[in-house]
Structure 1
Amino acid sequence: MSNTLPLIQRVFAALALLVLLAGCATTPPDSVLAVPAPAQKYAAIVVDARTGKQLFEVSSTAQRYPASLTKMMTLYLLFEALESGRVSKQTQIPVSDNAASQPPTKLRFRRGESIDVDSAIRAIVVKSANDVAVAVGEYLGGSEVQFAATMTSKARQLGMTSTIFRNASGLPDDGQMTTARDMAVLGMALRQRFPQQFHYFSESDFMFRGRLVRGHNDMLGRVRGVDGIKTGYIRASGFNIVTSYNADGRNLIVVVMGADSARQRNDHVEALIQRSLSPTMDGAKTRLMFAEQ
């Protein structure tokens, strides 16, 4: 292969070759394995969530914008509040004028309205509602700024060493940064710490005030074994996703950041899942990356 090719292109050419060597009838075409984003935005990692072993990575410790993957930490802290009894699923969370004024995607509340915790969780997971995420942050933290500080502190406790949160929603903020590795840590922590709540991440729609609200995560139902968890997009980040695969005794966390479109991102995730499940990967380089939470 020509040495003039960018490093990432050479990495994915090798990845395509590995998948082809597997001889699997469901192997995706080389075009699916092509780099789905510019190098300055793209990052990816695949981790065996049962062992913490890294199965694949490109730029997984490079700084990236999380976009709505941020809401995974908002939910982590809300799940903690549920677990401690600070809130119940029936607790009403008031939606302030500030929360209601957030740009879409949102549920669009009027002054003085509130939302119960159960509906808030579904709104954040399925709709990625910015107004609801901010309302949760204000309710739990007293202010969104204070809540973001708590989010960052929790990130450090979980081993997310390169993440700084500035808001509860993931809306653009130059100071809000993370890495693909840190998002994998958070994805694993959500499943391990809150198995009784993880089912929310597999929901693709929910009813709110008599209408059906549909979600953005097209990986649900597309690949057998995928059971969540969260998508994200802002212009600066590109299309991001953290995906959980749990089937046939295998549990993977796949993170792809910076894709040019949702379709490219999803194709790439599917290809990485197939590659990681391939028998030819048994002897591939792996290393223990994450301490048990």
Structure 2
Amino acid sequence: MIREFFAGVRFLGRGFGYWRTHTRLMSLGLIPAFIAWALLLAVFVPLLISLGPIIDGMTPFADGWTEPWRGLVRFGLGAVIVVAALALSAAVFTALTLTIGDPFYQRIWRGVERSLGEEPTGNTPFWTTVGEGLRLVVLGILIALLTLLIGFLPVVGGITASIIGILLNGRLLARELTGRAFDARGLTGISRSGMLRAGRARVIGFGVATQLCFLVPFGAIVTMPAAVAGSTLLAHDLLRRANTPSPQPSAPPPPEPPHA
């Protein structure tokens, strides 16, 4: 399980390798990523500035508590809100970036496909990209709400909420980013779900690594083209594993004839 998880992380590393071998192609993804990042920053910074009054308004019951309990409760709630906001931001950033920069990321995806010896013939229509983006945002909101609810658990709520939020959102990002390679091959949602489920640890490893890179200052801008490239490599790996027949157990040897 752990080995498969880090195998998924390596797909993002291989995606970053395209910055060295296909620099001009990867540079196409910087502009839409920067626009989406700037839009999210304009929302996230005011949230951080007003976080104190928001927490105070959510915890009036703690006004009469003595320190350090009042400070610990409010600090823990603030951490959960930030984690939930970051989880939602990753989903919204991916949806916005793929929608704004659809022509650029189509070219990156096609370039990676050709580097693997494939000649992609399918395409993801623009409105399909918009629909998938909206779906990603809705699911991101649900994950953020779940993270908030778990965060209210005593003692372990903050840590548990952070871990669950990162894992769920990582899988969500990986599913969205692998969509182009699957769309080009006309795969149905059931087929995709089966392949993603079969390679669950790799998918989560790739998605978690991508999300953590998004949290680095300016990291999301550079990571997004690499994530598109790496997700194409991951999709190829999932397709190969799905098309590789499982080894059949060898038949037992026939019984020896009884001795006269």
TM-score, structure 1 length as denominator?
0.25
Which has more helix, going by share of residues? 2
TM-score, structure 2 length as denominator?
0.27
Which has more strand, going by share of residues? 1
Say which one has the larger Rg. Answer: 2
Instruction: Between the two structures, name the one with larger relative contact order (CA 8 Å, sep ≥ 6).
Output: 2
